[in-house]
Each structure stands twice: as C-alpha cells, then as structure tokens.
Amino acid sequence: MDNRSKLFPRVIGSLAIVGMMVGLMIGRLTTPDPSELQQVEVTGDGLVVWFNNEPKTHGEVVDGSVALLFEAEGKAQKGQLKVNGKDVNWRVRLSDGGLLLTVVAARPLLGEWVGREVDDRWRLEIHLREQ
C-alpha cells in the first residue's frame, strides 16, 4: 500500500478545517456590529438618542405616551425633561425585543422622531409636544 493513499484523508481533512476557519473569519468581518445605545441627551423639546449604528426602530404613541422599541443593546436609564414648562419622565429599559424607550407625562403627549447618520454614529431626535 502506498504512503500517499494513507495521507490523503488527513490532507483533505486539514483542507476542510482550514477552509471552514477562513469562512468563519470572513463571516465575522462582514457581519455588522450590533447596535448599541451610547447616550441619551435632553433637548429643549425632547430627547436625542445616540447609537453606534442605525438600529431597527418601531415607535408608537399609545394613550398619550410615546414608546420606541430599538433592536439594540444598552443599559437601563431614566430621567426628566420639560415640555412647555411641565415635567415629562423618560425611561429606557431592557425588553424581549431590545431596548424600550418610554416617555410619559401627566397629560397626553405627541411625538415625532427622525434619525440620521452623524460622524459614523446614528442620531435619533425625538420631538415632543402636548396633545
């Protein structure tokens, strides 16, 4: 029996392992980083939320409160702002679908939001007003 025929399965196995490892490395390089909440800023009429890249976003105004769900990672946080001189509370919490930002006040609110890329980050402006 020839020595080459004994080594052939090892060579094929080694090539398969190397090919799989190269494929995994290429896949890792082409997969986008997960979206991550970096900071929340209070503005004159709402909030500015910063992410490392654009997250999938779903938002609704429900019973006078504004709720935005982001497919992103981040930490829970909360704060207050003023709309027309009246207190408004905001809170970011972890949920099954990602991060949930809720904005509530003693009276019904309306909200509009728009996002855009700024300096390789994603900036989402949320403008609030009384209903």
Statement to judge: residues 53 and 8 lie in one domain: no
Domain count across the chain: 2
Statement to judge: residues 58 and 107 lie in one domain: yes
Query: Phi then psi for 50, rounded to 5 degrees?
Result: -110, 135
Statement to judge: residues 20 and 61 lie in one domain: no
* Greater model confidence, 6 or 58: 58
Residue at token pair 């509530």: 104
- The residue range of the domain holding 91 is 37-130
Statement to judge: residues 23 and 53 lie in one domain: no
CATH number, position 49: 2.60.40.3500
Query: Average of pLDDT values for 28-44?
Result: 86
8 Å CB contact between 51 and 124: yes
pLDDT in tens, 68-118: 999 999 999 999 999 988 999 999 999 988 999 999 999 999 999 999 999
- In angstroms, the CA 72 to CA 5 distance is 53
Statement to judge: residues 50 and 90 lie in one domain: yes
- In angstroms, the CA 16 to CA 24 distance is 12
Tell me the pLDDT band of 1, cut-offs 50, 70 and 90: low
Statement to judge: residues 41 and 89 lie in one domain: yes
For residue 118, what are its two tokens?
């700024």
Tell me the pLDDT band of 9, cut-offs 50, 70 and 90: confident
Statement to judge: residues 125 and 89 lie in one domain: yes
Statement to judge: residues 18 and 53 lie in one domain: no
Q: State residue 30's pLDDT score.
A: 75
User: Which residues have C-beta within 8 Å of that of residue 33, sequence separation ≥ 6?
Assistant: 52, 53
Statement to judge: residues 64 and 105 lie in one domain: yes
Statement to judge: residues 45 and 72 lie in one domain: yes
Q: State residue 5's pLDDT score.
A: 78
Residue at token pair 């009276």: 107
Collapse the DSSP code of 85 into the 3-class scheme (helix H, G, I; strand E, B; otherwise coil) and give the result.
coil
Least Cα distance to 102 among 47, 128, 65, 73 occurs for 65
Statement to judge: residues 89 and 124 lie in one domain: yes
pLDDT in tens, 48-82: 999 999 999 999 998 889 999 999 999 999 999 99
Q: State residue 2's pLDDT score.
A: 67
Q: pTM (2 decimals)?
A: 0.75
Least Cα distance to 108 among 42, 73, 61 occurs for 61
Statement to judge: residues 52 and 17 lie in one domain: no
